[in-house]
Structure 1
Amino acid sequence: MSGAAFAIGDWVLRALERDLAARPPERGGALLGPPGRPLVTCYLADPDAASSPRSWAPSRALAARVREVERAEGLELKGLVHSHPPGLDAPSAQDALELAAGLRANGHLASYLAPIVSEGAPSAGARHELPLGASKLGFYAGWRAEGPARVAPVAARALPLLRDLERLQGELGGEAPEVFVTDLGAGPAPAGRLALPGLELVLVASEQYPHLPPVLLATCEGGPTEQLDLRWPLALPDGERLPAALREHLAPPGPYRRGFGPAGGPALTGDEERARRAGFTPRYQAGDPDARGAALAARLLARGEGLVSAELRGRCALVAGLGSVGSYLAEQLVRAGVGAVALVDPEAVEPENLSRTCYEAADVGAPKVEALARRLLRVAPALRCEARATAVEDLSPLELDALVGGADVVLAATDDPAAQRALDRFAYARGRPALFVGLYAGARGGEVIVTVPERTACYLCATRTRHQAERAAGAVARPVDYGTGRLQGEVALAADIQHVASAGVKLALSLLLPPGGPAALAGFAEEPVAAGASYLTLSTVPRYWFYPELFGEVPGQGAYQAVWLTPSRDPACPVCGDRAARVDPREVPLRAPSREAVLAALTSPAASGPAR
């Protein structure tokens, strides 16, 4: 066996079966395919040929038709095929002479195909023979030699594009598929078209199909044409690969409508930008994808029915700081039904974050705001999500004012005390309830400070209460890094962090629900707020901090104790004090001046006073 292995389209094999195998010999025609490639995509019958039971000679009409197709479709002649009488399944001596003539007439071809259609099934292990109904097709080719051409068998295989398109039609519906040759800029290639209700699919394959995936183009009625990214399951039998790959993009029955959703799942949004942020892929199925996403959002409330209400879908939470606390807060609020979030964090996901956050290995290196937005949109595709990959102090006062003003609750979970204080100032000034969630050293305890403007002390005043407790019972606050001004990272378990953060989730949901409504959780935060006990401290280890002094020898007092503190407002506080003492937060710099700026100010002529 010699020469390159040839692929032949199964639609060509069907034509050979109808025109040659199912009719008495000898008959024949021409085989064509893309130039320079071992691929046959076209069969031209030769009804005008001179033929008899023992011979076949192509007609001039066939030669003219070949030239016409070569010009019109960009194909080239590969050779001639004809049928033989029973018992003759290889080219004859006369065929070798004809092959030599064919090679002389087509000097650009290195070889000239001469397949033979004959009776019987392919021989075991014969790589050059293909089944053709009750007959077989033996692939042979001729090469230049002195006198007659040198003839040898050539390995061949069927390219089953039509078979797979017909299977798709059976699964997806639509019209009978058609196969043709197209040119996408890289030369002619076999292609197939499947017209479904509301959707057209065009597959462009190479001679390596189905070992390699085709290019798949999808066009909805009135929509754009787009290439779908096929995951090609090589572990499946070759006839299963195309249907399996398309199941990730199409869900019958139609009529098909374009949307976006998780691979293999339903279309949950028609918004391309939302889909991009969620990492959704195009999906085609019946119905409105946005309505499907809204129905999913409504079902998020099913397990909280009576505790929360649909009012949450109209609420927005601003979450600043998306580490182990903030990412947990945001996810739990969205899973509970909150309809909008604004996310603020300047950092990227690091490997260390994976042990106690909702991020995944694929998120490492991505901005936290984008990674978290992607996760949240996959939970609730109808979520309204704003993401700011910046530090709080790098926002302008007007930008921070707008973020706080657009939220119904502010959750401050940054490691920057200055950022926490800035969020406190704006939330209190704009009448927005806020929660300040923080962990103590080693996550052996933590705090949730609730601020409700005009009803509780602000964060600045509340933390004075902790400072007093620390002076009396020992420090628990995490140390601040001198160089950055941020709290130092701590070794801690996710379970301990989330124990504290879960209290913040429940309080935030309570603050977001309308008071007096049917949701049982609506009044959860009201009792401590009304009593002025707006500062919750929690322990995750036994005999923590000042707790033994409060609980004494009460049995059963181990870890997970909690104490509500009652901070008081300082009348001179610029945030929550008397009206005359308050300062417009827009007038307070979000970032302390740099050392260079301070030195420049001190050494400027204006700083040294008027000249004498």
Structure 2
Amino acid sequence: MMRKQAHTAKAAEAVAGTPWSITDMVLDIIDRELAVPAPERGAALIAVRDSRLIVDVVSDPRPGESVSYWHSDQLRRRLSDYLTDNPTRRYVGTVHSHPGGYAEPSGPDHQAFANMLATNRAIRDAIFPIVVQAPRDGLGSVLRLGDKHLADLPHGTFAGYSAHPTDAGLVVRPAPIHVVPAGAHAAVVADALTRHLGQPVTVRWGEPLTVSGTAWLTAQFMIDTRTIAGVALGPSYPMTPPMVWAAESASPVFSSWPISATGDHLAGAVSAVLQHQTPPVAAVRAGIRERLSVHLPNQIDAHVLLIGAGSVGSNAAEMLIRSGVKRLTVVDFDTVEPANLSRTVYGSGDLGQLKTAALADRLTAIAADVEITQLTCPLQELTGEVLDTVDLAFLASDDMAGEGWLNHELYVRAIPSVSVKVFAGAEGAELAYVLPARNTACLRCMMGAVGSGDRGDADYGTGRINGSPALGPDIAAAAARGVKVALALTQTDGPLADWLDELVSRRLTYFLSSNVAGWTYTEFARAGSLPFDGLWLTAPGRPECEICGMERVSDTQPAHVAAFTTSPPQGIGDVDTDDHRHGEDN
């Protein structure tokens, strides 16, 4: 049964109605879409379910008539779709604009309010504000109702009115309006954190938090995708204190708070909880440099391309960042699995995440100013747009076919590269580096072409090396040796640069190391070899190689280049063994 519609008031009663809270962000939208254009225009107001906190607005794309407004069919459809997509929110009333300074409901407005309440039985108390382009001191007779129902807009005034049905008819009263300055204060916090941390900080609004049955707005302050702090603001904020917390998992606490608080007070509260957790970037960077300056006198500006974020790759990435690398592009399409936790840098909280995303979170937690680009494409899909920005490549994947293709792409661009691979069971490891500018052999010449050996255990379809058990410290040691060479490639002065220069001048570009006694590939060179034995080898390029030889394939020609073998290079002997490199992406 519909409510009676005949008994409608013709003027708002001069008695305070139901109070409502509304965010400054909603008022900004209302100002832009209702106060600026010519009246009459309207929009549906959205509140958090079971609250009187207005947090959103659904605008009507169609203006009303010159003397009246009610929902268009387009708005009804928009509102229906919005509420379907946002089940924690509810429609609580309609705001529309009036011409001039007439900031109270007209007779037709009262009838429209009554009709809406009659057809929406779930709404017992609604709000029907009026927006005018006049400032509050130009509202004339409306001021007889007081001014607690008024909110100033940049281009006019917002006047709130509550309405509820009674047996005697519709009751319309001025609704006290409290503006929650959430957007303005959050912007002050973001600006303050940006200055303090030296990194752009953005605001992300989340779902409301229920505190003692009351809805509170929540905002997270982000550096890229990482949450560094959060706040919760109640419907009477800033008269009541906010809740503040540091990082995504921390518990919120109430901050000490003055009644007449500003955005600066909120910024101070957030900074207080962060002061022991997020030191300024400059302090972090100075601390990293403090114990590196002797070995790395040149600050590292290189953009490093990391292929593979598994056991070797994740360990190498952390070492690179802790050594001063600031720009890293990581390529990997796998996710973190429980078996990965024994020999990577990931934790149980990373399970199921893409390795690139989990690694980015870990690295930015070490140094907030690092730039991490995450790519999940196959290696053969790396574009020139990506490769042309790279200064150094670190190859640590199990995709031998993809790295065979990338070997050519890097060489023709004169991009130095370091490759680290670990043999089955981590009994040994190999390290190779390529300096095209110094005409060293390419990786294919050092590691051999497909079919040149008999130790292969690669997947026939993908060319990726199958994984096998191995001890984490042995893999980390191999990664560390590769990182040291990579760091040396970023230096022009100092002990690392001198060390590498001697190796290059002697054409020692390939290194084998063992983790067990009598390992096949070191035993042939040194009888009775012990664990941790290692030897540098000369690996000359082949004159016929289309990558580094006399007749190279140019960067304008398609490269039909074979992948690497899973055998050792012929330069260290043809050894008959069943050992094989194991996949690093585990």
> Shorter-chain TM-score: what band?
0.5 to 0.7
Looking at structure 2, the residues matched to 524 and 467 of structure 1 have their Cα atoms a distance apart, in angstroms, of: 35
Measure how far apart 1:369 and its partner are: 1.4
Measure how far apart 1:365 and its partner are: 1.9
Measure how far apart 1:256 and its partner are: 5.9
From 565, 573, 581, the equivalent of 2:537 is 565
- In structure 2, stretches of 5+ residues that fail to align are 1-12, 22-148, 152-159, 163-174, 191-206, 222-228, 234-240, 564-586
From 480, 495, 512, the equivalent of 1:520 is 495
Aligned to 1:144: none
- In terms of Rg, which structure is larger? 1
1:552 is the counterpart of 2:527? yes
Give the conservation status (yes or no) of the 8 Å contact 2:19–2:177: no
Measure how far apart 1:590 and its partner are: 8.7
Q: How does 1:101-500 map to 2 (within 5 A)?
A: 209=212, 215-216=216-217, 228=230, 255=264, 264-266=273-275, 292-309=280-297, 311-312=299-300, 314-395=301-382, 399=383, 401-453=384-436, 454-464=438-448, 479-500=457-478
Measure how far apart 1:246 and its partner are: 5.3
Give the conservation status (yes or no) of the 8 Å contact 2:220–2:230: no
Aligned to 1:542: 517
Q: Secondary structure at the match of 1:71?
A: coil
Give the conservation status (yes or no) of the 8 Å contact 1:447–1:536: yes
Q: Secondary structure at the match of 1:215?
A: strand
Give the conservation status (yes or no) of the 8 Å contact 1:448–1:536: yes
Looking at structure 1, the residues matched to 367 and 209 of structure 2 have their Cα atoms a distance apart, in angstroms, of: 40
Measure how far apart 1:551 and its partner are: 2.5
Looking at structure 2, the residues matched to 358 and 522 of structure 1 have their Cα atoms a distance apart, in angstroms, of: 28
Q: Secondary structure at the match of 1:536?
A: strand
Compared CA separation, residues 324 and 193, structure 1 to 2 (3 A): same
**Relative contact order higher in (CA < 8 Å, ≥ 6 apart):** 2
Give the conservation status (yes or no) of the 8 Å contact 1:480–1:487: yes
Give the conservation status (yes or no) of the 8 Å contact 2:312–2:479: yes
Measure how far apart 1:69 and its partner are: 5.8
Looking at structure 2, the residues matched to 258 and 534 of structure 1 have their Cα atoms a distance apart, in angstroms, of: 54
Q: Secondary structure at the match of 1:587?
A: coil
Give the conservation status (yes or no) of the 8 Å contact 1:318–1:342: yes
Which amino acid is 2:480 matched to? S
Looking at structure 2, the residues matched to 466 and 333 of structure 1 have their Cα atoms a distance apart, in angstroms, of: 31
Which amino acid is 2:359 matched to? L
Looking at structure 1, the residues matched to 488 and 443 of structure 2 have their Cα atoms a distance apart, in angstroms, of: 19
Aligned to 1:9: none
Give deviations 1:148-190, integer Å, cap 9, x for gaps: xxxxxxxxxxxxxxxxxxxxxxxxxxxxxxxx9x99x9x9999
Give the conservation status (yes or no) of the 8 Å contact 1:341–1:386: yes
From 71, 76, 79, the equivalent of 2:17 is 71
Give the conservation status (yes or no) of the 8 Å contact 2:219–2:231: no
Give deviations 1:563-611, integer Å, cap 9, x for gaps: 1111111111011001x3434376126999xxxxxxxxxxxxxxxxxxx
Give deviations 1:284-317, integer Å, cap 9, x for gaps: xxxxx9xx224422321222221113521x2111
Looking at structure 2, the residues matched to 372 and 350 of structure 1 have their Cα atoms a distance apart, in angstroms, of: 13
Looking at structure 2, the residues matched to 199 and 479 of structure 1 have their Cα atoms a distance apart, in angstroms, of: 58
Measure how far apart 1:364 and its partner are: 1.9
Compared CA separation, residues 363 and 262, structure 1 to 2 (3 A): farther
Q: Secondary structure at the match of 1:535?
A: strand
Measure how far apart 1:207 and its partner are: 10
Measure how far apart 1:425 and its partner are: 0.7
Give the conservation status (yes or no) of the 8 Å contact 2:232–2:242: no
Measure how far apart 1:433 and its partner are: 1.0
Give the conservation status (yes or no) of the 8 Å contact 2:309–2:332: yes
1:587 is the counterpart of 2:584? no
Give deviations 1:359-391, integer Å, cap 9, x for gaps: 222222222212211211111111122211111
Q: Secondary structure at the match of 2:17?
A: helix
Give deviations 1:179-224, integer Å, cap 9, x for gaps: x9x99x9x999999999999699xx999963xx786256799xxxx
Which amino acid is 1:457 matched to? A
Compared CA separation, residues 213 and 509, structure 1 to 2 (3 A): farther
Q: How does 1:65-104 map to 2 (within 5 A)?
A: 70-71=16-17, 73=19
Compared CA separation, residues 245 and 481, structure 1 to 2 (3 A): closer
Looking at structure 1, the residues matched to 545 and 254 of structure 2 have their Cα atoms a distance apart, in angstroms, of: 59
Aligned to 1:601: none
Which amino acid is 1:433 matched to? P
Q: How does 1:22-101 map to 2 (within 5 A)?
A: 70-71=16-17, 73=19
Which amino acid is 2:514 matched to? S
Measure how far apart 1:550 and its partner are: 2.6
Looking at structure 2, the residues matched to 259 and 591 of structure 1 have their Cα atoms a distance apart, in angstroms, of: 60
Give the conservation status (yes or no) of the 8 Å contact 1:458–1:576: yes
Looking at structure 1, the residues matched to 220 and 465 of structure 2 have their Cα atoms a distance apart, in angstroms, of: 53
Looking at structure 2, the residues matched to 217 and 432 of structure 1 have their Cα atoms a distance apart, in angstroms, of: 46
Give the conservation status (yes or no) of the 8 Å contact 1:230–1:245: no
Deviates more, 1:241-250 or 1:497-506: 241-250
Give the conservation status (yes or no) of the 8 Å contact 1:318–1:403: no
Give the conservation status (yes or no) of the 8 Å contact 1:310–1:337: no
Q: Secondary structure at the match of 1:550?
A: coil
Which amino acid is 2:396 matched to? A
Aligned to 1:503: 481
Give the conservation status (yes or no) of the 8 Å contact 2:418–2:486: yes
Aligned length: 366
Overall identity of the aligned pairs, in %: 28
Structure-2-length-normalised TM-score: 0.53
Give the conservation status (yes or no) of the 8 Å contact 1:293–1:382: yes
Looking at structure 1, the residues matched to 189 and 546 of structure 2 have their Cα atoms a distance apart, in angstroms, of: 65
Give the conservation status (yes or no) of the 8 Å contact 2:243–2:253: no
Measure how far apart 1:482 and its partner are: 2.3
Structure-1-length-normalised TM-score: 0.51
Looking at structure 1, the residues matched to 558 and 374 of structure 2 have their Cα atoms a distance apart, in angstroms, of: 25
Q: How does 1:3-18 map to 2 (within 5 A)?
A: none
Compared CA separation, residues 549 and 206, structure 1 to 2 (3 A): closer
Compared CA separation, residues 430 and 263, structure 1 to 2 (3 A): farther
Give deviations 1:412-464, integer Å, cap 9, x for gaps: 11211111112211121111110111111111111111111143111011013
- In structure 1, stretches of 5+ residues that fail to align are 1-66, 76-179, 221-226, 232-238, 269-282, 284-288, 593-612
Compared CA separation, residues 547 and 206, structure 1 to 2 (3 A): closer
Compared CA separation, residues 582 and 551, structure 1 to 2 (3 A): same
